[in-house]
Amino acid sequence: MTQQPMKSIIIFRFLEREGAGYLGDFLNAQNIPWQLHEIDEGKPAPASILGYSGVVLMGGPMSVNDDLPWIAPILALIREAIDNDIPVLGHCLGGQFISKALGATITQNTVKEIGWGEVIVSQNAAAKTWFGSIQSFNAFHWHGETFSLPEGATHLLASPYCQHQAWSIGKHLAFQTHIEMTAEMVQKWCEEGAQELSESAASPALQQAEAMQQELPLHLFFLQKVAKQVYTQWIKGLV
């Protein structure tokens, strides 16, 4: 009997600088096929998600509350994936997309949270499944909005400036924070986000570019250990 080729993971990109990052490196190392779907280049959302083994949504500066023509189709694809037990994973804007698709609200956070900052892992069984023995870690943040938890979600992470940093429902996982960072991404975001950093300098949860890039290899070493733990768990749900 001929073995069917493994279906690809689809990774939705909403801005050129916010691509697959470390997740792409991880999937390549696991020999798991994936494809980047560049919404930012005008590529229309697929008509159905059923041909994919998993769905990932990356970050972006827009809001899921914006009046953009591609938002409703993306929300519909997320619901289709979840209805068909196809695992969904969201980073920042992507986490907000999954939250909204499941009926949660996306609102302004009390402050902009940008740069490295500690997140605390919740004390529950789902958090232990995703994060193992990790109790806290230094995550990378770049957001001004936050999500509420959809019905049935289990809280996973919190930071001092944002209570809802991650949640899960079964094999589906939504992050407000970023665990997918690489050195190139941090440096590019700092360059292209210079104006936002200047305008938001009064936020108590903001680091300027120089501080973000101090000891960057060390920060990324520990963050990618967390990401590897999480992604290893997530791919167990691929269909």
162-211 per-position pLDDT tens digit: 999 999 999 999 999 999 999 999 999 999 999 999 999 999 999 999 99
The whole domain housing 193 covers: 9-237
How many independent structural domains does the chain possess? 1
Residue 1 lies in a domain: no
Q: Give domain status of residue 46, yes or no.
A: yes
Quick one: which H or E segment has residue 162?
strand 162-169
Q: Give the model confidence (pLDDT) of 83-132 as tens digits.
A: 999 999 999 999 999 999 999 999 999 999 999 999 999 999 999 999 99
Q: What is this structure's pTM?
A: 0.97
Q: What CATH number does residue 59 fall under?
A: 3.40.50.880
d(CA 238, CA 174): 16
Is the torsion defined by CA of 106, 109, 113, 117 positive or negative?
negative
Take residue 106 and report the two structure tokens written for it. Answer: 């996306």
Q: Place 66 in a pLDDT band, splitting at 50, 70 and 90.
A: very high
* Domain-located, residue 79: yes
In a domain, 3, yes or no: no
Residue 54 token pair: 């998993």
Helix boundaries (H) for 55-116 = 71-83, 93-101
Could you tell me which residues come within 8 angstroms of residue 197 by beta carbon, excluding any fewer than 6 positions away? 114, 190, 206, 208, 209
**pLDDT value at residue 232:** 98
Residue 5: the pLDDT is 76
CA gap 67, 69 in Å, rounded:
7
153: left (phi over 0), alpha (psi -120 to 50) or beta: beta
Asked if residue 82 is part of any domain, the answer here is: yes
Per-residue pLDDT averaged across 18-24, rounded? 97
Q: Residue 3 has what pLDDT?
A: 59
Question: Does the residue 2 lie in any domain?
Answer: no
Mean pLDDT of the chain: 96
pLDDT confidence of 6, banded at 50, 70, 90?
A: confident
**pLDDT over 90, % of the chain:** 97
Q: How far is CA 156 from CA 119, 165, 211, in A?
A: 10, 7, 27
Show the tokens assigned to 58.
């990356």
Q: Per the structure block, which two tokens stand in for 198?
A: 């200047």
pLDDT at 73 over 70: yes
191 occurs within a structural domain = yes
Q: What does DSSP assign to residue 40?
A: G
Cα–Cα distances in angstroms (integers) from residue 219 to residues 118, 158, 179, in the given order? 11, 19, 11
CA distance 69 to 180: 27
- 180 assigned to some structural domain: yes
